Amino acid sequence: MVDRPNPPVGPLDGLLVVDFSRVLAGPFATMLLADLGARVIKIERPGVGDDSRAFGPFLDGPDGRHSLYFARVNRGKQSLTVDLKSKADRPLLLAMIDRADVVVENFRPGVMDRLGLDYTTLAARNPGLVYASISGFGQSGPLRLKPAYDAVVQAMSGVMSITGEAEGTPAKPGVPISDIAGGLYTFGAITAALLGRARSGVGSYIDIAMYDSTLSLLESAGLSYLATGVQPPRIGNAHFSIAPFDTFACADRSIVICAANDVLFRRLCRVLDRPELITDVRYASNEGRFDHREALKADMESTLQQRAAEDWLAELDRAGVPCSLILDVAEALGGAQAQARQMVVHSGGLPVLGNPIKMSAYPDPPERPPAPALDADRVALVAEFLPPAGQPPTA
């Protein structure tokens, strides 16, 4: 029997993924596939592996010092190092791809073509193959060859222009949303293509651009521009079309309040003991509240600043008004809700973020298989896919 990781039992059990991707967008997508039961073979550069093996934060684990960055998005995968320009490992690589359901890569457009590992070439060998390419700007268009990292795409997508305080400079959100968006869309596209293949027997080529993915997240700001032709301004923590929907200062710290309709606004005013706000003509509708959001915020804060945040939150919660403290990362990850939802799990003895996909038919284990050591699975993979002459391949 071939020694291999034991991924969590899930709906993708039995699926074989050959993963050429590195750093975040691609590995994030294949991590989700692995978490749901797929077998993922990660192809890495000889000697150094995925760049993210050298990215912090670092933590000492049972068998040495590890990058939590790498451990998180590569848990439960197998590792094989391959010089893609060399012919030495090409038979092993092709033997795996011939049996694969999915190939994922995030090289610059044209690289896999030059290597002879493009979709057209591989689909001729394996017609059912689902092949996903992730790039900064996609496989077409004038920017297709432009190199990109998350911050570059955030800057070019308009996201940074609308993030930050009104009088401040453009800001990058605190998480790599372009990478994550690209990974999430890739995961969804792969599962959709697999469903299509189950019906037609034919695979598919998937072209995901981080740029497209981030543009799709513009939502309210993008829709506002398309409707009016006016560039959306930076408005801090406020909403682009709803008020009150912002952060508000209390006596000790700020809270978020989201009263997104007339019913919630009336409840909010009753909690604040400010009935005159309900009858104020400026605040009679969401449109009016949005147009006068600065005045409304000042009216609300004049009352909120008289008491501590926790006092207000207790009353707002009882009234059913959506609200929250602004938690730091430690408070968020250490909170009872995160624990109840198993959003912090362990992989190879290391704490990592959990999987938000919960399914009634499958477990959501608190212990996940570890990320692989570099080239850790070479011997097993050779034995499985290139057995000695006269010996059948391992199923």
Which of 66, 239, 292, 346 is an active site residue? 239
Residue 73, classified by CB atoms within 10 Å of its CB into exposed (0-12), middle (13-18) or buried (19+), is: buried
- Give the up-direction half-sphere exposure of residue 13: CA atoms within 13 A in the CB hemisphere: 9
* Residue 74 near residue 50 (C-beta atoms within 8 A): yes
Active site residue 239: yes
- For the four alpha carbons of 171, 175, 177 and 178, in that order, the dihedral sign comes to positive
334 dihedral zone (left: phi>0; alpha: psi -120 to 50; beta): alpha
The residues facing 367 across adjacent strands are 346
Residues carrying an active site annotation = 239
